[in-house]
Structure 1
């Protein structure tokens, strides 16, 4: 995907391999849930089956990714970054008071490594669903699998440290990650000097957010590319908060080449700011939400693979190739053409005020309908 002075990245929204998906993988945990309305994780599998048909049990680890794996491999991105919203632990001590709890058995971790991520972002509102012990288990499991992480750690220094991916000619891609309260990250999940947790900011004006912008200036070396991954904003709605738009601009001004936003259950606008990419919300990618009703107008059954190409020389955006998928039987498959048209209309309308042009065109790599985003 890269080459010729260009670097290609695969970016995505939320990957949630716990709960119902954990139940269909080879090593399911006890299905009991501490949720108010759903007490058995297998009920989420049954809910998906009511709308799409039978879902296999003890499915292969790659099953939830479906057709996405071949599409990602065909694109040959230089770097792959995912946001994991699941605690990887067998610990039963859930955090009380939360409506939703996500965990997966560490033995099912090949369901994550199937996509071969270079960086796993953990700054989100589910990584501590099973407490700090669960976070420790998660960090241990990911480290044992050889995965780089960003956005959570055993103390504040580790949680705020960027993940560094080597690039050709001694360059690096740095991934910083921050979870904001607007996405539902509890304040007491913040990592401190003596306590593990998330790299957390109460809002764009929080000192932690200011320190992040300052750190970009001091950490970046000539030739580096910088991604700032942010878990922010509400689950639903297309209009980003003005303060968060301003924060994204501040990060670009400080040296970020890509602002990788996630938390929303559906894709939100793409923005071109000073030639750099701001993803205000990538939407969900892998989860067990199929069949849950209430927000059908947002079409959260539709998912996107984001293939981003930037210039090595200055980090400026070349294009974003968007490959639409849909979830069926808890598995990703190519979205039909009418759904691609719907996404084109919505993203085109919502991204236009942010200086981004969305075009519909066949996917030049794998074929099939797709979208391309470029600065207007």
Structure 2
């Protein structure tokens, strides 16, 4: 986990300071630093030669049985945090508003969490979170603005939403070991998408339905960075196969310059592969989860990249335990998850190799 600096990316702004994972995290409540242009690389620092280890996991929130985990935020994720920390960059989806205010939206499931969620995320080794999902506005625009404000106060990076349309579609920009990385987040969930999309005067989450803007955001990120990651919120709940809508936007994002596309939302694991030179994982399932779900299968996706190329992909199986924490599995439980993933790969339409 790198120490965080930049919160929500703004198009055309510089990268954060790229502090190493060994540096202490900044104290909660410290104002966000002023962004500066990256320092010139040393002559031997060629990003195309650098190898980085990335980690991704699925949906996280603190409500129901998991809110009690925030009584001890530094251990909220349990032992699986060791896997998350063992990467140069770790990303998950934060499936909740972080607020104690707002008006509930007209929807069946409503999630919100206290600000100690950021302490738990940071302690687990998570560097940034997508909030481009169908729960970030569960408590309206007041709740979303609280989420953005509290993230800034905690100096914890979030992406995929913003105070206006420009901020919502902007990448989070960071530098890790000399490699400039841009991360963008989009939702492809239909419910309330019209009401939740951002405008020039209204906060909201970045929607993949605005295809031209989403593709343009990825193309712009490609011009700014050595590596472009897209974190999607998409899929059909309970289905281990990607829909045609998912495959279509994945192709468009790959064509625009995305190097990695990963996603969540279906509450079950989907599978991965290559779309040309772009690595795609259609669904990472639940990770730290409040209650019953369509599946308890979970895990951590670990990728090794060199330049823009994914040179190794590995999925570390886990299950969502009775506490809501993800727990690593082995033996027959691990084999069962790997067998399900092997079956799911048949419907991805992706190549097993580049």
Q: Which interval holds the TM-score relative to the shorter structure? A: 0.7 to 0.9
Q: With structure 1 as the length reference, what TM-score do the two structures score? A: 0.76
Looking at structure 1, the residues matched to 314 and 76 of structure 2 have their Cα atoms a distance apart, in angstroms, of 22
Cα RMSD for the two superposed structures: 2.3
Q: In 2, are the aligned partners of 1:11 and 1:81 still within 8 Å (CA)?
A: yes
1:157 matched to 2:166? The reply is: yes
Provide Cα deviations, 1:233-292, integer angstroms capped at 9, x if missing partner: 111112211232122122112100001111111110212111321111111111112xx3
1:323 matched to 2:316? The reply is: yes
1:110 matched to 2:119? The reply is: yes
Deviation of 1:86 (Å): 1.0
Deviation of 1:328 (Å): 2.2
Q: With structure 2 as the length reference, what TM-score do the two structures score? A: 0.80
Q: 1:343 aligns to what SS in structure 2? A: helix
* Pairing partner for 1:209 from 194, 201, 211: 211
Deviation of 1:327 (Å): 2.3
Paired residue for 1:61?
Answer: 73
Provide Cα deviations, 1:154-173, integer angstroms capped at 9, x if missing partner: 1111111100011333x311
1:93 matched to 2:100? The reply is: no
User: For residues 175 and 241 of structure 1, do their structure 2 counterparts lie closer, same or farther at Cα, with a shift above 3 Å needed?
Assistant: same
User: For residues 106 and 241 of structure 1, do their structure 2 counterparts lie closer, same or farther at Cα, with a shift above 3 Å needed?
Assistant: same
User: For residues 116 and 15 of structure 1, do their structure 2 counterparts lie closer, same or farther at Cα, with a shift above 3 Å needed?
Assistant: same
Looking at structure 1, the residues matched to 272 and 240 of structure 2 have their Cα atoms a distance apart, in angstroms, of 10
Provide Cα deviations, 1:148-206, integer angstroms capped at 9, x if missing partner: 2211111111111100011333x311011111134x4532011111111111243xxxx
Alignment of 1:111-260 (within 5 A): 111-169=120-178, 171-182=179-190, 184=191, 186-202=193-209, 208-221=210-223, 224-260=226-262
User: For residues 265 and 112 of structure 1, do their structure 2 counterparts lie closer, same or farther at Cα, with a shift above 3 Å needed?
Assistant: same
Q: In 2, are the aligned partners of 1:7 and 1:78 still within 8 Å (CA)?
A: yes
* Pairing partner for 1:306 from 295, 301, 307: 301
Unaligned runs of 5+ in 1: 27-59, 203-207, 358-374
User: For residues 62 and 185 of structure 1, do their structure 2 counterparts lie closer, same or farther at Cα, with a shift above 3 Å needed?
Assistant: farther
Looking at structure 1, the residues matched to 102 and 166 of structure 2 have their Cα atoms a distance apart, in angstroms, of 27
* Pairing partner for 1:18 from 53, 63, 67: 63
Q: In 2, are the aligned partners of 1:19 and 1:104 still within 8 Å (CA)?
A: no
User: For residues 149 and 335 of structure 1, do their structure 2 counterparts lie closer, same or farther at Cα, with a shift above 3 Å needed?
Assistant: same
* Pairing partner for 2:332 from 320, 332, 338: 338
Looking at structure 2, the residues matched to 223 and 193 of structure 1 have their Cα atoms a distance apart, in angstroms, of 26
- Number of equivalences: 307
Looking at structure 2, the residues matched to 7 and 106 of structure 1 have their Cα atoms a distance apart, in angstroms, of 30
Q: 1:159 aligns to what SS in structure 2? A: helix
Q: In 1, are the aligned partners of 2:240 and 2:344 still within 8 Å (CA)?
A: yes
Q: In 1, are the aligned partners of 2:184 and 2:230 still within 8 Å (CA)?
A: yes
Looking at structure 2, the residues matched to 164 and 108 of structure 1 have their Cα atoms a distance apart, in angstroms, of 22
Unaligned runs of 5+ in 2: 2-46
Looking at structure 1, the residues matched to 75 and 220 of structure 2 have their Cα atoms a distance apart, in angstroms, of 42
Q: 1:309 aligns to what SS in structure 2? A: strand
Q: 1:172 aligns to what SS in structure 2? A: strand
Q: 1:25 aligns to what SS in structure 2? A: helix
Looking at structure 1, the residues matched to 116 and 127 of structure 2 have their Cα atoms a distance apart, in angstroms, of 20
Looking at structure 1, the residues matched to 216 and 336 of structure 2 have their Cα atoms a distance apart, in angstroms, of 40
Deviation of 1:352 (Å): 4.4
Looking at structure 2, the residues matched to 276 and 101 of structure 1 have their Cα atoms a distance apart, in angstroms, of 34
Q: In 2, are the aligned partners of 1:12 and 1:83 still within 8 Å (CA)?
A: yes
* Pairing partner for 2:52 from 1, 4, 7: 7
Q: In 2, are the aligned partners of 1:64 and 1:286 still within 8 Å (CA)?
A: no
Looking at structure 1, the residues matched to 220 and 120 of structure 2 have their Cα atoms a distance apart, in angstroms, of 36
